[in-house]
A and B are shown apart, each in its own frame.
Chain A
Amino acid sequence: MVNFAFKLMLRDLRSGDILMLLMALIISVSTVTTISLFIDRLQLSFEQESANLLAADRLIRSDEAIPKNWQFKARELSLKQARRTSFGTMIFSGDALQLSQLSAVTDSYPLKGAYLVDDTLFARGQPSKQPPKKGEVWLSSRLASLLNVRIGEKVEVGELQLTVAKYLVRDPGSSSSAFAISPRAVMNIRDLPSTKVIIPGSRVRYSLLLAGEPVDLENFESWVVPELKEGQRWRTPVEKGERIGDTIVKAESFLLLAGILAVVMSGIAMALASTRFVKRHLVQVAVLKTLGATPKVLIKVFSIQFVILFFTGALLGLAVGWGGQGVISSLLSGLMSTSLPEPSVGRLWLGTITGLVSMVAFCLPMMLRLIKISPMSVLHPSRKLEKNSLALYSMGFIGIYGLMCIYTKGFLLPSIMTLAMLAIGILVSIVGWMVFKLGRSLTSGATSGWQIGFASLYRRLLPNLFQLLVFTLIIMLGLVLVGVKSSIVTEWQEQLPVDAPNHYLFNVQKDQIEQINASTENLRVLRSDWYPMVRGRVISVNGKSIQTLYPEGKGEPELYERELNLTWSHSLGKGNKLLSGDFSADGLSIEQRVAKAANLSLGDTLTLNIGGNIVSLPITSVRSVDWSSMQPNFYLILPKRVLDGYSANFVSSLFISNENAQPFYKSMSQHPTVSILNVGDILKQIQTVIEQLSEAIQLVLLCILIAGALVLIASVRATLEERLEEGALLRVLGAKKALVQQSLVVEFGALGLFSGLIAAAGAEACVYALQVFIFKSQASWHPLLWALGPLIGISIITAIGLFASRIVLKVPPMHLLRDF
C-alpha cells in the first residue's frame, strides 16, 4: 500500500497539485521558521545588550562586603564571577583635586560587554574587554579635564599613585553610576588595599557579578535570595535595562505579531492549496472508487501521502527557513553594531508544529471529505462534495488560533487578530455581495469588458467572495504590520531624538542659573526648564505612619523607601500626562506607577517630612511620566506655596554634542559646586538598540510582504481555471483579445479595489486595538494605510491576475477548451 500511495503521489506531482500543496507547506514552515529563528537571535542579542548594561548575567549589590561563602557557592555552580567595589573619593593631581566615583574591579570584569576607552579626550572609544592593569587608572574625559592630567601622568588615590592609562568612555555596568553625580574612574581591585581609602563607615557599594548557564544562575538565585539582608539586592538584566526594556518588549511584540501573521498567511496558503487539490481530485477519487478502492484503502493511501508530504515539506521548509534567517541576519550584519548570536536548533519545533497544525487543520479535513465523495459523481458530475460544514471551517480557525496562542504564549494578541479576521469576514460578505450585485445591475449586457467583468463577478458570487476575503485578509495583515511598524518606529524616534538630553545639571543654586544659561546659550546647547528640588520623605499615609504600615521596612513601596526629590511646577512637564484629577489644585501630583505600587489614589493624604517640617497634603492629580524622555521627572510635585520657604537646588537636562563637550566642561569648571551627570552612554546604548530593532522589523516586514504576495498569487491561481475557460469561450465566440483583457482587468481590479478598501478599514481598526492593548501607546490615524490598501489591491492583484491569465490571451482557444 505504501508503494502504491507513493507511486500515485509521484505521478500526481506532474499535475502540479501536490506540488502546490508542498509549496504551501514549505512556505508555511519556512516563513515561521525564518521569523522564529530570527526573533530568537534578536532576543539573544537583546539579552546580551542588556547584559552589557549589567556587565554580567546577574548581579548582587550590597552595602557591605560580599560574604565569601556566596563566592564559594557561585564557584561550586561553575558560575563566572567578577567583583566591583564603588565609592566616592577624592582624586588628586598636583594641586587639583576632584570628588570622583571610583570603581575598583577584578581582572575578570566585565563578564559581559566591554569598556569603551580611548587615548584622546572626548573621543568615541574602542572596546576593551580587560579592566585597567595593576598600577593603572582610567579617568573619564571630564575627570581628566578637571584634574588637568593626560595619559601617562600620575594621579593619587588615597596613599597610592596610579598612572592614567586610558580615557574612559563607557563603563559597562555603570548605568547605576549615572545616579552618582561625580565623574568616573576605574582602577584594578588589587591596588585597592594600598590606597587605604576604605575605612570603617565609608559609603561603599560592593557588587558581585555572575555569568553562566541559565539553570546554574537560577539555582544560585534560589539559594542566595533568602540570604539577602537589608541593603542587598539581586538584579537581573531586564530590571537593569528598564529604559530599553520597554523598547525591546515592543519590538518583541511586533516580531511576534509578524510571526502570527506569517502563521495566518500560511494557513490561508494551505487552505487554498488544499481546496485546489480536492477540487482537482474529485474525479480521481470517484474513479478510484468505481475501480474498487474502498474507503479504508483510500484513507490509507491519503494518510501515507499526507505523512510523506508533511515530512518532505517540513524538512524542506526548515532548511529554507534556516537559510532564510541566515540571509536576513547577514543582510542586517552591515547595519547592526553587534553581530547576532547563533540561532538555536531548539527553535525549529515552532515551524514544524505550524506545518503540522496547518496540515491537520486545513489539509486533513479536506482529504477526509474527498474520501467521502460518492462514486456516483462519475455519472452525475453535479453531485460533488457535500457543502463545507461549519465544523470544517471551525477546525481551520481553531488550528490557526491555537498556533497563534502557542506562538505568543498568550491569548490577547491572537484574540484581537482572530476577532479582526472574523469581522472582516462578515464585512467582506456584506459589502462584496452588495457591490457585485449593484455592479451587475448597472452593467447588464455583454458587449464591454465592464459588463463581462461584473457579470462574472456576480455569477461566481461565492468563490469571488471567498477570494475577496483572502485578498482582503492578506492585504490587511500586510497593512497592519506596516501601520504598527511605522507607529512604533515613529514613537521611538520621537521618544529619543538625536538631540535627546544627555546631561543633567544638579545642585544648581538660584543665583547660578543665569550664568549657566548664558554659557549654554553661547554654546547653543538645548536645555530643558529648570526645576527646583527640595528633599523630603513620606512619613505617613492617611494618618498611619509608614513604620506602622511596614514594620521593619518589609515590602515597603519605593515611594516610602528613601528621601525623595520634590519639586513644584505650574505646568505639566514634557513627557508628563495628566491621568486624573486637577494638576493646578492645591495638593500633591503623583506619578501613576509609584501611586499604584503604594496603592494610593486621588484623595489619599500623604504626610511629608521636609527639612524637619511636617506637611500633610491630599493627592489631587495622578500623572503618567515617560521616564525614557530623559527630562527631569519627579514622583511627587507639590504646590509652590509649600516648598517656597525652603532653599532649593535646581536641576535641568541638556544635550551636549561631542564637539561642545570640552568647552562646556570648561565653562562649568567655574561652578565647582554644580554636579554634572552624563547619561550619554546609556542614551547611546538605547539608540543603538532602537536602530537595530527598527532595521530588523523592517526586514521582517519585507519577508512577510513577500510571503503575502506569494499567497496572493496562489489565490489567483486557485480560481484561474474557470476564468481561463470563460476567456477561451469568449474568444471562441469571437471576442477580441482586448475585450477579454478588459474584462479580466475589471474583474481583478474590482476585487483588488474592494479588498484594498476593506483591508484598510480592518487594518486601521486592528492597529488601533494593537496600539491600545498590546503596545500600550497612543492610538493614531494612519492615512498611509488608506492610500496603500486600494493601491496595493488594484495594482498587485490586477498585475498578478493578468500575468497568471496571460495564457488565455496567447494560446489558441481550442487548446484551452480541450483541456477542460
Chain B
Amino acid sequence: MEVGKISDFRDGCRDAIPICLGYIAVSFAFGIESSKAQLTPLQAVMTSLLNVTSAGQFSALSIIEAQGSFIELIVLQFIINLRYMLMSTALSQKLDPELPTPYRLGISYGVTDEIFGVSVLKKGKLYPMYSYGLIFVSVFGWVLGTFLGAESGQLMPHRLISCLGLAIYGMFIAIIVPDTRKSSAVMAVVASAMALSTLFTYAPILNHISSGFRIIIVTVAVAAAASVIAPIKEDGDE
C-alpha cells in the first residue's frame, strides 16, 4: 500500500497554485462580508480554516448575523454542501482500496469544487501525499485571503469593497455556466433555479421565507425535477 512520496506532496503544492490565487480573491470577499456580519477576524479565519467551503460559508453569514436557528444552519449546510458527497464518492474510487481510514479522513478535509476537480483529473491512483500538497497550498490561500479581507476590509475605499461583493457570484457563475453549453438539462436547471429563486425573493407570502430555506427549497425542487425528467446517463458526466 503506497501513500506517495515527498515529491508527490511537491507536485500537489505546484498544481494548487492557481487554486490558491483564486481562493485569495474569493476569500478576501468573504473576509469583508464576515466583518460586515459582525464577525471578528479570528472568527472569520476560524470559519475558513474549519470549513473551506465558499458557498456554505457565505450562506452561513446571514444566519449568524440574524442569530438564526441551528437547525436552519445545519439543513442549509447539508443541502449546499451535499455536492461534496458526490465528489467524495467519486474520489473514493481513485484511492487504493487498502488505504487506511486516517488517510481518508485527511483527504476528506479538503474536498472542495476546485481541489476535487484537480484530484479527479490526476492520472492513475490518488496518493494522500499529493492530496495533502493540494490542500496545504489551497487552504493557505483561503485562510490568508480571509484574514486580509477581515482585517483590511474597513481600510479599503468603500467603492472597491462594493465591487468586490461580486467576486463570489462571479466564481459561482464560472463554476456552473460553462457546463450549460454541453448539457441542455444543466442549462434548464440553472435557468429554472434562478427563476424560482427570483419568485421566492419577490412574490408576496413567499418572500417571508428566509434566504437559507429559500435556497434549500429551490435546490431540492429543481434537482429532483431534473433527476426525474432528465436522469443522467450511466457512466456519463462527472
A binds B: no
Interface residues of B (CB under 8 A from A): none
